[in-house]
Structure 1
Amino acid sequence: MAKQILLLNGPNLNLLGTREPHIYGHTTLSEIETSCAAHAATFGATLESFQSNHEGALVDRIQAARGHVDAIIINPGAYTHTSVAIRDALLGVGIPFIELHVSNVHAREPWRHHSYFSDKAGGIIVGLGVKGYKVAVEHVATEWKVLEKASL
């Protein structure tokens, strides 16, 4: 059976392509999702995408993934620095996850340097631009056992 990957994007990532293009580039979230699904398919995996500006919707989607998803790639956006609820949901479902950020959060404002997810992530991809999404897909599609060991 094909491995299932869930790609989650948090607040304001629906604005990719137009929001601060000097930081985030010109590629839209829809283009990223399409590209990632195609890339996952080359590894025999399937990818489902979900974006929300609402913390509870992201928590609900993470909880719904239990028993159906093999790995999560999450760009929590601004929730990186604030959401214990999303962290707890990720830990609660026990699905290995990769944390992803388009920009180099460590080269930005000091309050962006702290993540509620990094210490539990199977890997962290920061500052590679939208290319980071494909890197994350390739990693979870080829390194399942590494992620399983790193998780929790």
Structure 2
Amino acid sequence: MILGIGSDLANIDRIAAVLERHGARFKTRVFTAAEQRKAEGRPRAIAATYAKRWAAKEACSKALGTGLAMGISWKDMAVSNLASGQPVMQLTGWAAERLAAMTPPDHEAILHVTLTDDHPWAQAFVVIEARPKPART
């Protein structure tokens, strides 16, 4: 069953301007060290990489039904990639607590995330699915 859906659209040029204006202060407030390494390791797409992750965090907070106003920290939601390149999202802190609270008993929560960019836009969708846990024998 679907527990939540969120989407967000971020302007890459706006994120680039924030990066230029606030630099490390912005990066360390919003992004995990791993997210920063990923973005900085893509010299031709630094702003786009940050913009996609920004959009994913916004989309995730919407899928959790909280937005960012209810105590979720930006860093409680982190995007990484599998070896195949597929984006995945990890939740910690209050975001993980919220996910646990909204997941029905005997179910496991699965986060699906997709990212895309086409300058000047970066977009993310997050779907939170609850799957029944396998029956114990």
What TM-score do you get using the length of structure 2 for normalisation? 0.28
Q: If each structure's strand is expressed as a fraction of its own residues, which one has the higher value? A: 2
Which one scores higher on RCO, CA 8 angstroms, separation ≥ 6? 2
What TM-score do you get using the length of structure 1 for normalisation? 0.27
In our comparison, the structure showing a higher alpha carbon Rg is 2
